[in-house]
Amino acid sequence: MKLSRIFILLSAGFCFLAVAALILSINRIMEREITTQYEQKASMLLFSMKAVRSHLGSVIRPEATRILGSDEFVVELQSTSYAANRVFEVISPDHKYEIQFRTPSTKPMNPKNKATPVEAELIEHLDRMHLDGEKTLEWRGVRQVDGVDHFIIAQGAVNARSCIPCHSAPEDAPLSMQQRYTFDYPARLENRVETAEIVFIPMSSIYATIAGANRVFLPLGAAGLLAIVISVFLLFSRLISSPLGRLQEYALAVERGDLDREVRGTYRGELASLKASVQAMVQKLKEKILEAEDKSREAETESRRAMEAAQEAFEAKKRAEQAKEEGIQHAASNVETIVERLNESLHELSSQVQHSSRSALTQSERVSESSTAMEEMNATVLEVSRNASNVAGRADESQKQALQGSEIVQKAVEAIVKVQRQAESLRDNLGGLGKEAEGISNIMNVIEDIADQTNLLALNAAIEAARAGDAGRGFAVVADEVRKLAEKTMHATKEVGQAITSIQNGTKTNIKAMESAVAVVHEATELAEKSGQALQKIVALVSDAASDVHSIATATEQQSAASDQIKVGLDKINRLSSETTEAMNRSDQAIRELLDQVRMLHNLVREMKEER
């Protein structure tokens, strides 16, 4: 089967499966959508009927009761069930969508509203839901009604207190209702579900709607599938099948020997690469054929030359046979002489070969000993290399520690310099403090002099006041207070002077101590700088030592590598010596065999001479 047909069949099968899966998915979606639409229509109808009943029960019935009185009850006007069913009856069948609506009851007043077994079962179920405390009294599902599947929505209606008078004992009901209905059922119970609003949707209607949609959709799907298959066929024929067919024709032409055939048509993607590869292959084939033809012509030429050479060899053979008999005796004499010389040379060569064999054996033994010594030396060099590497590592670590120490010392120098500067500044400040204290001392001396003078003046004033008698008594009191104040001032001035003297003495002591501290800090700075310089020298020495150790380690590693190379060379020499010894032994054996052949040749020559 052709590739195009296989591809078309596979594509058609794949498209069929894809379209079938799509149709199945859409069919299920449509089925759910149609079912949902029917449910929405039924719910809307049920909601509308409940709205009718609610409006009649809350608005129209109270107004009618007020007008007609409590003894009159007009069913057509005041019954919510009658109104809802009557409204449903007048709806056009085209807008009912085969949906049925009922208000059945297990205790009906109107016999038309008597609940069927299915409806009674649903009402009992809704009543249990109400007793269980559920707020939404609704049931949805599929049930058989008269042997036909229906989708049912049932909503329960709880008996209100206002409904009880009309649906209880006959004597409690309005007179018009007593005359119209028979009251064959027990009285309804308050706050119980004994009636419901139910809508029925025949499942056959839903299935018919779905089937109608499928009758429209399936032909469209089939047409789409056919269009896809045709498009794939045309696309495959244009892009793949036709180019492959042209390549096949080109390959058949090349097979028949038409190497100059050209590939026609447009190719895309991998087919373009395939076309280029096929053309390149045919071009190489043409080149190989041309080379084969050249080689064939060369072979024919060489064959002719070989035939000519064979003819010449045949003629030369004839001439050689003629010359053989003529020169055999002469050759025999020459051969005998050559054999004798060859015999002597072979004996000499045998002696030399035996000597060389012994020398090669001795050399092999010496080389083996040297190889063993080199192995021991290489092991020692490797140990030295490892130790040198370890020392190099320790030297690097020492260099790092020395560098860290140098940095620490440098920081210590900087800190000590800062301390020196602070100490010098503090010394200067203390010197200034001493000068300020001296200034204060001078001022206190002046104050003391003033207080002394004030004391004298106060004493004189007191004396003068005493002389004045009673007139100067007040002035005497003031003068006495001034004198006391002057004495206190003098006393305080002395205390302040003593304190200032103590401060001056302490300041001088601190200045001397700070000068000593500055000197010590300066000396410590110099020592720290010298320590830093020494550490820098140590760092340089450690760095040089580390560099030297690294050089030693590198040289040791290089020496180890050289030792390995020497050992490899000695091993090769040892093998060559062994091979030389074996070759000498084989040469000696060959010389012995050659001597035997020479003796045989000598005997043959002697026999040839005797036959002559």
What does the alpha-carbon distance between residue 172 and residue 161 come to, in Å, rounded to a whole number? 13
Domain coverage including residue 157: 41-207
Residue that is last in its domain, among 182, 207, 232: 207
- Identify whether 354 is part of a domain: no
Q: Which helix (H) or strand (E) holds 155?
A: strand 148-158
The pLDDT score that the predictor gives to residue 242 is 74
Q: Give yes or no for a contact between 149 and 179, defined as CB atoms under 8 angstroms apart.
A: no
The pLDDT score that the predictor gives to residue 77 is 72
Could you tell me the CATH number of the domain that includes residue 124?
3.30.450
What does the alpha-carbon distance between residue 609 and residue 149 come to, in Å, rounded to a whole number? 137
The pLDDT score that the predictor gives to residue 153 is 92
The pLDDT score that the predictor gives to residue 105 is 87
- Identify whether 69 is part of a domain: yes
- Identify whether 499 is part of a domain: yes
- Identify whether 290 is part of a domain: no
Quote the number of domains for the chain.
2
What does the alpha-carbon distance between residue 204 and residue 100 come to, in Å, rounded to a whole number? 14
Q: Which helix (H) or strand (E) holds 151?
A: strand 148-158
Residue that the structure tokens 């106060």 belong to = 458
Rounded mean pLDDT for each run of 10 residues along the chain, 612 residues in total: 64 73 79 83 83 81 78 73 80 82 85 88 92 91 89 88 69 66 75 90 84 76 75 70 72 76 74 75 76 70 63 61 56 58 61 63 60 56 59 64 67 65 66 64 67 72 73 69 70 69 68 64 65 65 61 58 58 66 70 70 65 58
Q: What are phi and psi of 110, to 5 degrees?
A: -95, 125
Would you put residue 108 in left (φ > 0), alpha (ψ -120 to 50) or beta? beta
Model's pTM, two decimal places?
Answer: 0.38
Residue that is last in its domain, among 163, 187, 207: 207
The pLDDT score that the predictor gives to residue 464 is 74
Residue type at 112 in one-letter notation: K
Could you tell me the CATH number of the domain that includes residue 450?
1.10.287.950
What's the per-residue H, E or C state across 567-591? HHHHHHHHHHHHHHHHHHHHHHHHH
- Identify whether 112 is part of a domain: yes
Residue that is last in its domain, among 158, 190, 207: 207
